Amino acid sequence: MIEFTQRDIRQLEEKGISRKTVEAQIRTFVEGIPFINLHGPAVVGDGILKTDAKQDKRLVEKFESSQSKLSLLKFVPASGAASRMFKSLFNFLDTYKPDKERFSSYVDRKEQKEIGEFFERATELPFYEMVLKRIGQKNLSEDSSKYAFVKELLSEEGLNYGFYPKGLLPFHKYKDHLVTPFEEHLLEAAYYARSKDKAFLHFTISEQHQTLFNTELKKVGKRASERTDTNFIVDYSYQSQATDTIAVTPDNQPFRNEDNSVLFRPGGHGALIQNLDQQDADIIFIKNIDNVVTRDKCDEIARSKKVLAGVLLELQEQIFNFSNILEEQTMDGNTLDEVKSFLENDLNVRFSENFSGFTLGQQIEILKDKLNRPIRVCGMVKNEGEPGGGPYWVKDRNGNISLQIVESAQVDLSHEQQTAIFKKATHFNPVDLVCGVKDFKGNKFNLMNYVDEKQGFITRKTKEGKELKALELPGLWNGAMAYWNTIFVEVPSSTFNPVKTVNDLLKPAHQVN
């Protein structure tokens, strides 16, 4: 039994976290989180839909013919800071001494291939000329100028990019201006997330960055509107403090800060299911802030998104039709078989072996429950060695089999059979989702009802030299959507262009033609 002081209880109240929630989190630390039980990889023909050119044309037309009648929203998780993106450059600042060593020797000695490439191709970086001008250099021929370049880029006295939100860094350089991922997301939304002349976008950001995002919108909003003839309506939300999770010591007692207050940590991107739940639109497109392309490549991105949205609309049409029939209970055995077949073949639903033994009334209730759920159509990219979760068939603790997006941390990689299944994945998750969150009557689902709380993560960290255990909530596209109806669709690898490190800006997708 954990004893909380009056000060602890006040701290919980200020955060909006109930004592019951904290006690449940501590129980999770004590009991541990079981690994996912992989049943098999999702592959083309068994869990992943692969469309052909004829189908793509039909699906795009399906979406475009409905577009003006639908409320559309683009939802962009954008709270990440850029510090990880510049990890190699921060290390360079800490370890390189230009007055004591040649840069070439440093690269060879430290095996710093990433830094070598960074300077070898520095002229291709969007901010190259701006930084050179700020440090008063014409090029980076001298070792000291290389050091000065990185210092100007990252230091607090300079551009301070390492502490900016990633969404507000210059990713692309056009003729006369630099463009951030934030602006690229506006421009891209005009291609597929616009209804009539309006595009609605919602960014989840850190509260401390709100002013920076407001300033950026004022600066680029008019330019994006004029370029696309679109009126952009942008709003923001923060990750609620009420989704923070308690940190504990290795023996599962609350971890305390130096002032004896309890340490709480952000619950990870899974906390954003609450932010998503507050949105209200017929179709919601979800895409990470750092996955953008230069505008000359937007047509292909848009076409892929419209295919996914077309899949969603076709499935919803059938779901709503069957839901109405089930609601009216005007069905015979043939219709029941038709609904069950649709669920199995089109929505990837698996039924228990006992289904046929239930009464007709019970079968109807099961079918209603399986049909009436939020639906996500997830783009999946062929696995070419990129990091990220993948699509699998998973068996839960009750023996139910479903399609899930699984991260490596959720799998017991010491288990030979589970490792073998994990390695058979042919695709990975680029975070490219198109979601339907309303039922056949037009009411929005309560998304919190479809979260599998047992799909969180326990990680080990240190703070001020002391070990602690931290709890991440079920990931937004993992456990937070575990009980949604799920369809995986193969999408072109050209639609996945994230910037995880600064050198990713050197890839073709980020070079302006």
As a whole number, the mean pLDDT across the chain is: 93
Alpha helix segments (H runs only) across 121-254? 128-135, 143-154, 181-192, 210-228
pLDDT tens figures, 468-505? 999 999 999 999 999 999 999 999 999 999 999 999 99
Cβ atoms 236, 209 nearer than 8 A: no
| Domains (range + CATH), the chain | 6-79+168-497 (3.90.550.10), 87-164 (no CATH)
Rounded (10°) CA dihedral 223, 228, 233, 236: -70
Query: In this model, does residue 277 exceed pLDDT 90?
Result: yes
Task: Please tell me the distance from the alpha carbon of residue 215 to that of residue 85, in angstroms, as a whole number.
Answer: 23
Name 345's Cβ contacts closer than 8 Å, sequence gap at least 6.
none
Question: Where are the extended beta strands (E) located within 322-409?
Answer: 375-382, 390-395, 401-406
Name 322's Cβ contacts closer than 8 Å, sequence gap at least 6.
338, 339, 342, 367, 371
Of 4-8, 159-163, 271-275, 413-417, the one with minimum mean pLDDT is: 4-8
% of the chain beyond a pLDDT of 70: 98
Of 82-91, 232-241, 289-298, 380-389, the one with minimum mean pLDDT is: 380-389
Task: Tell me if residue 396 falls in helix, strand or coil.
Answer: coil
Q: What pLDDT band is residue 409 in, cutting at 50, 70 and 90?
A: confident
